[in-house]
Amino acid sequence: MATLTKEHYRIGIICALHTEAAAVIAMLDEPHPKLASQKDDPNDYSFGRIGVHNLVIACLPAGMMGNTPATTVASNMKRSFPIKIGLMVGIGGGVPSKKSDIRLGDVAVSQPTGSHGGVFQWDYGKTEQGGEFHHSGTLDKPPIALLNALQSLKIYDINKGIPLEDALTTMETNNPRMVEQFGYEYQGADEDQLFQSAYDHPAGETCEDCDAKEVIERKARKNTIPRVFYGNIASGNRVMKHGTTRDRIAKKEGIICFEMEAAGLMDNFPCLVIRGICDYADSHKNKIWQPYAAATAAAFARILLSFVEKQEVTDTPVQKQCTILPYPRNTDFVSRDDIFQRLDQLLPLATTYQTAAIWGLGGCGQVISSYSYSEIAKEAEISLDLKGEDLLKAVKKWIENLPSWLLVLDNVDDLRIFKEIYGHKNTGSSPNPELWRFVPPKKGIVLWTSRDNSILGKLVDVSRGVEVRGMSDREALRLFQSKSGRPQSEQPCDEESELLSLLENLPLAVSQSAAYIRSTGSTVKSYIKMFKKSESELLDLEFPDVHRQSDIPNSVMKTWNISMKQIAQDSPCAEKILNTIAYLDNQGLPFEVLSAAAGDGFKEYEIPQAIGRLLQYSFLQAQITAEEASSVYQEHRLVQLATRQSLINAKKNTEFSGNAIQIIDNLFPSGKHETRSSCRVYLPHALKSVSWEEADEYENLAPGLLSRIGRYFWEEGRSNEAEQLQLQVLDLRKSVLGEKHPDTITAMGNLALIWQQQGQLNEAEQLGLQVLDLRKGVLGENHPDTIQVMANLASTWRQQGQFNEAEQLQLQVLDLQKSVLGERHPKGQSNEAEQFKLQVLDLRKSVLGEKHPNTITAMGNLALIWQQQGQLNEAEQLGLQVLDLRKGVLGENHPDTIRAMANLASTWHQQGQFKEAEQLELQVVDLQKSILGEKHPDTIRAMANLASTWHKQGQFNEAEQLELQVLDLRKSVLGEKHPDTIRAMANLASTWNRQGQSNKAEQLELQVVDLQKSILGEKHPDTIQAMANLASTWRQQGQSNEAEQLELQVLDLQKSVLGEKHPDTIRAMANLASTWQQQGQSNEAEQFKLQVLDLRKSVLGEKHPDTILAMGNLAVTYYNQQRYSEAEKLGVDVLYLRQEILGDKHPDTISARGNLAATYKKLGRYDKAKELESQS
């Protein structure tokens, strides 16, 4: 037998899976040895003979499926072998219908039917208005040689039948291992179940758990011989596994089978598709049928080839090819598969005249892509030629006489060379538009490359363009490693990832950096360090490249400068936009910004034209937005860099950076909650614009813009970022305006507010005092801004709990305000923050009016003071007023309204109205999450309040889970030493205590006490509360002496800080009484408990949970003193009240029931005790 070469293999078979390829190989009459592989062809081939035909067989790479990999494999096969016809052989999902009773193991064959050529790409098209998906495009038919063979086979089938069973039997006999170990045999009718279309597969790999009632009953076949069905096969990049969708598409398009590869072949690889049916293209996938289905498809392919005449694929003379390539082959070339696949689709092997254009941003690789595509075309026996005006004239006639040719016209950036465009008149110095007549007009292929996408529609059809963008991560890594000489790897190291990200995968920039690293021996890490310092200088360096002409620049900067000069000539408006946006963020550029960047010197219609010009040169790209009506653009970061460098060279950088900050200063809103959506749009550009300190008018514009950005951050709870900006503002204001200018004082006040939000209360207080003094001196005491500062300072005092220290200052303020307010202001001693708030409230009402937001804020702050002082009824009434006003003025979803809801819920919580508090707090949490986000401090505070309410209701597990979330969030958002974080630790410890986890609670409470003392001081209410919690834990652990000592300290501190009638002071008395009770000091305990009960009744009311608790504690004391009748009387009241307020299942109700049952036993009333115990 003669030695076989690649020229002898004219029939190609492609399979997607190894299961399929194994079946095809098993059908060969004779296997052939492998041939030497071609360097740039990664396919793995098997060879053999069926009948008179030599076959080459290729399988898709492991783990890859779909149209794109199939196209790649077919393209490689066509380059390596002179393929005349092909087959796609494998498995697919059948579509049973009344017309086609398809079963598992049957064969589906693509045959032109209706409006389709045998294969229909079911997922290709577009979604139009209303959400309806419209398919578009058609695919080629199989080659005529295969359709003729198919027709002959169908005639033979009618007369004698297709001998599929014989082919399968031969395969099984020759390859018994395939049957015994891998299941290449018929699986039985019991394993072939067709379910109703709408019935989805439950969890699990098999259908054992599927509902048998959903199985469709079908008439049994007389034998197991596979049947063959002909028609349209649907192909897509997704697996079809939904019965209803399958039936809808199949009915509309006449589909008999679904698969995933054929659509990638039909326009480029002349083939017929043969699929063995392994499932029904629904959710009930069945892998056990795959081997047998692959075998039936392979058997049909074997039989079909016996009907293909040998002369249809006999060798034809190889055409002599003439090649003109001015550069050596690029051995570092990295394949851009997506681009080549698109070119294969646009420029298939055909005898008709065809044209296409490659366009993109300079440096993206359109030139290299075209050259390497030329090499591919050359290997596929297509003649080649390259650019050159003189060469075109000289060779036009010769090219036209060639049987097939490919002409590449490179760097066609000035389209006027070929046609009269843009309305330019042809002067003596203008390009000659007559060159168009030298482009051969027939039979061959013309491939254009350009940076200007307006080539589409002017020199080539609009639909025949391929845009070249930055490489994928994988492609960029391969290029960098190849060019730099680094070891090849599939995954980049950290330094490689960082560098490629900085270069945004731009091929020319990647090549440039790799060349520098290779020539200097630098490490990637050192290059990154240099790049961050001097990126424009590094990207301006030229590097040797034998694949470019010496007069063509190969640095990123010089490459783009050429395009920039062209844009400046074409559109001064586009040039101004490009120069201005170089100083803004490169992503999310709204049309309003681009329009403002153009300035006032252009007509309205010129601006969209200018933007279009930048789009055509790929300097801008349109971004997809959620709202189709909005136009948003992005610019390559390195384009911005090149633009800024050119402006620096021209000494225009201060002008255009000044334009940028002026534009954003005009567009960026106040930063208040109502403007947050606009703030988010302009925020990246605002931050970028204020980073150019050399900008014209920077000192005048930047402070105001920075303040508004800071306000937005503050509203969003991003206090750390707000602080950094506000510090910048303050420095600028001081240096430009001086310390006493109103704007400087405003900056100081804003910074004090931020520190207050961060929990830096001492710093906030000191700065607040300075601001108040300055406001009084500059604006006077009656100015609204002065009143605002007073309100802010009062809030700081409230959070610090330093009421005594604040008293002297507030008395001075009150005396000053009396002269302003006269007799309208209440007289008498002020109670520090409360009186201060009353003063602020009166001032605001008189100056601003009752419905002014600042007046409502003052009312809310006063309600908080009353709440903290234990004046809960007054706090509730004022809180309800505040909430009504907030809703009426700001609306229900405004953060200040939600904050008012939260404050009111907190008051209800302290009043013991836990159900009402819970309902309101659940609303608050939902609103805060949806409006402010889960990590906003106000959202976290709402979650903490809800957890505290659940704690009070005895829902300790729910409280614990939420408190753990709150603690994690506060640590990450606010930091471990923020007062709110420490408060979260205290709340969690308290819950652990109630759960009986006293050891865990003690450890956490010890940390809390230490932190509170060091951060807030010993006399802060939070510190005192932490000490009280720790004492309670010690009492529960039996450490009554330690608990007593600490509780005595707590009681003294509460009396001095909060007063004797404050709820927290009364609670301290109750805790100390409980400890004395534990120590056996029942008389002392009784006296204290009686005081506690009287105080709680007068301060909190008889039905407050703390009052009921006091009653229960006193009843326990009577019980221990054997005063059972008195204990019974109190116990009955306690149980009744707890059932009414807390419910039967609350732990405190259950405890009350147990205590009363124990008292009944002591009284000998066992029936009553038994009745109560049965309820528990």
Measured CA to CA, the distance from residue 805 to residue 1082 in angstroms comes to 38
CATH class of 337-468: alpha beta
Reference 106, options 288, 283, 308, 257; nearest CA is 257
3-state class (DSSP) for residue 114: coil
Strands 228-235 vs 354-360: parallel, antiparallel or unpaired: unpaired
Domain boundaries, the chain: 6-310, 337-468, 473-539, 903-974, 983-1058, 1064-1176
Measured CA to CA, the distance from residue 470 to residue 476 in angstroms comes to 8
Output the pLDDT for position 361: 52
DSSP 264-322: GTTTTS-EEEEEEEEE-SSS---GGGHHHHHHHHHHHHHHHHTTS-GGGS---PPPP--
Contacts of residues 511-515 at CB distance under 8 Å and 24 or more positions apart, as own/partner, are 511/479, 511/483, 511/543, 511/545, 511/554, 512/538, 512/539, 512/541, 512/543, 512/554, 512/555, 512/556, 513/480, 513/484, 513/538, 514/479, 514/480, 514/482, 514/483, 514/484, 515/483, 515/484, 515/543, 515/544
Measured CA to CA, the distance from residue 958 to residue 962 in angstroms comes to 6
Q: Which two tokens stand for residue 1058?
A: 């909060």
In terms of Cβ atoms closer than 10 Å to its own Cβ (0-12, 13-18, 19+), residue 685 is buried
3-state class (DSSP) for residue 490: coil
Nearby residues of 786 by Cβ (< 8 Å), 6 or more positions away:
772, 775, 776, 779, 780
The position carrying tokens 């492998």 is 34
Measured CA to CA, the distance from residue 227 to residue 257 in angstroms comes to 14
3-state class (DSSP) for residue 99: coil
Measured CA to CA, the distance from residue 773 to residue 1089 in angstroms comes to 48
Asked if 1065 and 1058 count as a contact pair (C-beta separation under 8 A), the reply is yes
Reference 42, options 337, 298, 328, 367; nearest CA is 337
Output the pLDDT for position 429: 43
Beta partners for 448? Answer: 357, 409
CATH class of 473-539: mainly alpha
User: CA triplet 268, 273, 276: central angle to 5 degrees?
Assistant: 150
Output the pLDDT for position 624: 55
Residue 711: which H helix or E strand, with range? helix 698-715
Max distance between CA atoms of the chain, in angstroms, equals 126
Phi, psi angle pair for 1032, to nearest 5°: -60, -40
Identify the DSSP state of 8: G
Helical residues (DSSP H) of 891-936, grouped into ranges = 895-911, 914-931
Asked if 324 and 305 count as a contact pair (C-beta separation under 8 A), the reply is no
User: CA triplet 785, 788, 789: central angle to 5 degrees?
Assistant: 90
Nearby residues of 1067 by Cβ (< 8 Å), 6 or more positions away:
1028, 1106
User: CA triplet 866, 868, 873: central angle to 5 degrees?
Assistant: 45
Measured CA to CA, the distance from residue 58 to residue 73 in angstroms comes to 7
Nearby residues of 873 by Cβ (< 8 Å), 6 or more positions away:
911
- The mean pLDDT values, 10 residues at a time, for the chain of 1176 residues are 82 95 95 86 93 94 84 88 93 92 95 88 63 65 90 92 92 93 92 86 76 86 93 88 87 91 83 94 87 96 92 54 43 56 61 59 46 44 44 50 64 62 42 58 69 66 68 75 72 80 69 65 75 61 44 50 71 88 88 89 85 77 56 80 83 90 87 78 88 85 83 76 79 80 80 76 83 81 73 72 47 41 32 54 52 67 69 82 84 84 86 86 88 84 89 88 90 83 87 87 88 82 85 87 89 83 84 86 85 83 80 86 88 86 79 88 88 81
Output the pLDDT for position 354: 64
Output the pLDDT for position 1038: 86
Strands of 396-534, DSSP E: 405-409, 445-450, 465-468
Asked if 1120 and 1077 count as a contact pair (C-beta separation under 8 A), the reply is yes
Output the pLDDT for position 491: 80
Per CATH, 903-974 and 1064-1176 having the same topology is answered: yes
Output the pLDDT for position 397: 53
CATH class of 983-1058: mainly alpha
Measured CA to CA, the distance from residue 770 to residue 597 in angstroms comes to 41
CA-to-CA dists, residue 615 to 603, 930, 971, angstroms: 19, 37, 46
Measured CA to CA, the distance from residue 382 to residue 407 in angstroms comes to 10
Phi, psi angle pair for 103, to nearest 5°: -120, 165
CATH class of 903-974: mainly alpha
Measured CA to CA, the distance from residue 986 to residue 968 in angstroms comes to 13
Residue 621: which H helix or E strand, with range? strand 620-623
Output the pLDDT for position 173: 93
Nearby residues of 834 by Cβ (< 8 Å), 6 or more positions away:
862, 865, 866, 869
Q: Which two tokens stand for residue 175?
A: 């390859």
Phi, psi angle pair for 59, to nearest 5°: -120, 145
Phi, psi angle pair for 621, to nearest 5°: -135, 140
Amino acid at 803: F
Count how many Cα atoms sit within 13 Å of the Cα of residue 1143 in the half-sphere of its side chain: 10
The position carrying tokens 């409980």 is 1074
Measured CA to CA, the distance from residue 97 to residue 203 in angstroms comes to 27
The position carrying tokens 């059932």 is 1139
Give the CATH number of domain 6-310: 3.40.50.1580
Give the CATH number of domain 1064-1176: 1.25.40.10
DSSP 191-234: G---B-TT----SSSSSTTS-GGGBPP-PPPSS-PPPEEEEEEE
Identify the DSSP state of 884: H
Output the pLDDT for position 227: 94
The position carrying tokens 């937001």 is 853
Reference 368, options 508, 542, 519; nearest CA is 508
Asked if 1005 and 1027 count as a contact pair (C-beta separation under 8 A), the reply is no
Output the pLDDT for position 382: 38
What is the number of other CB atoms lying within 10 angstroms of the CB of residue 1075?
25
Asked if 902 and 921 count as a contact pair (C-beta separation under 8 A), the reply is yes
Reference 654, options 576, 754, 580, 719; nearest CA is 580
Measured CA to CA, the distance from residue 702 to residue 693 in angstroms comes to 9
DSSP 1125-1140: HHHHHHHHHHHHHHHH
CA-to-CA dists, residue 611 to 388, 616, 629, angstroms: 32, 9, 16
Asked if 262 and 117 count as a contact pair (C-beta separation under 8 A), the reply is no
